[in-house]
Amino acid sequence: MCRTRASAFASEPADGRRSGTHDDTTLVLGAGLTPVRPCATAAPRVNMGCMTDGDQGRASTSSMRTGRLEAFSDGVFAIAITLLVLEIGVPGGSGENLLQAIIDEWPSYLAYVVSFASIGAIWLAHSAITEYLQGANSVLMRLNLLLLLTVSFLPFPTKLLAEYIQEDDAERVAATVYGLNLLLALLLVSLLWRYSVAEHLVRPDADDEEVDVLTRRLTPGLGGYVVFLAVGLFLPIVAVFGYLAIAVFFLVPIRHLRRRGARA
């Protein structure tokens, strides 16, 4: 029987402790990872938690280690999130009324916060996925590149949003382009995960329930982006705050905090 790792969205053990050698493992989306024991091969099962010997062989023969994928991805995420702040500034010659000039740049601050939170949420989801992977194949590597393409593009619609959020028709266009970028990014994250599961690239000691929880966790965000894209055609500023709410949904471990509160 397989011992499961704690889901990326599950709470800590009831006694609040984590045992074994994974105490230093990075917390991902509100939960830690607990030690695992390799699946016993004496009674192979066909599921996400314990793959059969044939499934494991098929995955291992076509897979590559994920170390370079993770390192390259983290670098792109870091650069994209850093580029956001370069778009913030005050007009030249604002020295006589600098405080007012700083206040007048509130659209830039709003766009920066929403984009920072969104990239952070995507990075957390990406980290949760790669933590479950035992390897990657050529298709997964290319899907990951497409994801990084959308992430690295985000500073551009962020700039559009900051510049045109107060200009009638232009703000609708800016909010729509921005929302499409976020929707495409999360869609690729979800596709990355579903492909990994379908191709048996997920670690054999991953529990079925944990796999299902991660899949369900990614789904509401997709629907939310579609809804706020429609809202943005009429109320762009409301849509922007909606995108922020979606990012917070991924960033704040609500379920984890709720469980801790219940134990207290």
160-192 tens-digit pLDDT: 999 998 888 899 999 999 999 999 999 999 999
Answer whether residue 107 shows pLDDT above 50.
yes
Read off the tokens for 66.
């994920």
Q: Which amino acid belongs to residue 177? A: V
Q: Which residue has the higher pLDDT, 4 or 85?
A: 85
Read off the tokens for 30.
């509100």
Give the mean model confidence (pLDDT) for residues 148-168: 94
The DSSP element (H or E) to which 98 belongs, if any, is helix 98-103
Answer whether residue 146 shows pLDDT above 60.
yes
Contact 238, 32 (CB under 8 A): no
DSSP labels, 133-188? BS-B-HHHHHHHHHHHHHHHHTHHHHHHHHHHTTSHHHHHHHHHHHHHHHHHHHHH
Q: Which residue has the higher pLDDT, 102 or 258?
A: 102
Contact 191, 174 (CB under 8 A): no
Answer whether residue 13 shows pLDDT above 90.
no
Nearest to 218 by CA among 179, 186, 242: 186
The DSSP element (H or E) to which 245 belongs, if any, is helix 236-251
Task: Give the pLDDT band of residue 70 (cuts 50, 70, 90).
Answer: very high
Collapsed DSSP state (helix, strand, coil) of residue 197: helix
Contact 60, 51 (CB under 8 A): no
Answer whether residue 232 shows pLDDT above 90.
yes
Answer whether residue 141 shows pLDDT above 90.
yes
DSSP state for residue 41 in the 8-state scheme: S
Instruction: Out of 23-27, 119-123, 154-158, pick the least confident.
Output: 23-27
Give the mean model confidence (pLDDT) for residues 152-159: 96
Exposed (0-12), middle (13-18) or buried (19+): which is 200, by Cβ within 10 Å? buried
Query: Which residue do the tokens 């939960």 mark?
Result: 31
Q: What is the pLDDT of residue 255?
A: 52
Collapsed DSSP state (helix, strand, coil) of residue 203: coil
Read off the tokens for 20.
């074994």
Task: Give the pLDDT band of residue 253 (cuts 50, 70, 90).
Answer: confident
Q: What is the pLDDT of residue 38?
A: 43
Per the confidence metrics, is the pTM higher than 0.75? no
Domain spans in the chain, listed from the N-terminal domain onward: 66-252
Give the mean model confidence (pLDDT) for residues 119-142: 93
